[in-house]
Amino acid sequence: MKRVEVKLSLPVVAPLLDVIRELSSELSKSLAAPQALHDLDQDFRGAWIGELLEGQNQDQRSLLSLFDAQFFTEGVVAFDEKNAEPIVRACTAFRLQLRERRLKALSDEELETGDVDMSGLEEPVRKAFMCYLFLATVQELIIQHLDSSIIGS
């Protein structure tokens, strides 16, 4: 099984975990990307959203499980063919929620390019933006190294 181990900077990443846990709590009962489902009947729509939400919660648990005792002692997280897919999805859910709830002060262009003057941001926004970038980096790492494994699964 293909496996990628990444050493993270504990002092940088550990504070971001508080933000990620808050996001996970916020998303426990709502979808990160609300979907227009006008063409579905009421019952089917309920089941549809319920299943999406269940998957979203499972994905988040996979991401949160990365930050275990090994992470807090060695700063190491590991991605493999089993956890790559849910973690990539969870990163997207969290990034969507960050934009929606914590990064309204930034334009879409700033979010897309990452070209932001960090010193000009208030602390909560700065931390949220750091988290936004961190999650994108995790996604890029997984896609770059495990894309073929994900596609093939």
Partner 1 sequence: MPESRSHTRTETRASTELQVEDSWRVVVLNDPVNLMSYVVMVFKKVLGFDETRARKHMLEVHELGRSVVWTGLRETAEAHVFALQQWHLTAVLEPDEAR
- The residue ranges that bind partner 1 (CB under 8 A) are 32-33, 35-36, 39, 48, 51-52, 55, 88-89, 92-93, 95-96, 99, 108, 111-112, 136, 139-140, 143-144, 147, 150-151
CB of 147 to partner 1, least distance (A): 6
CB of 40 to partner 1, least distance (A): 8
- Number of residues in the chain: 153
Q: Quick one: which of 14, 19, 11 has its CA closest to 131?
A: 19
Rounded Cα–Cα distance for residues 117 and 98 (Å) = 18
User: How wide is the angle at C-alpha 95 spanned by C-alphas 94 and 99, nearest 5°?
Assistant: 115
CB of 8 to partner 1, least distance (A): 19
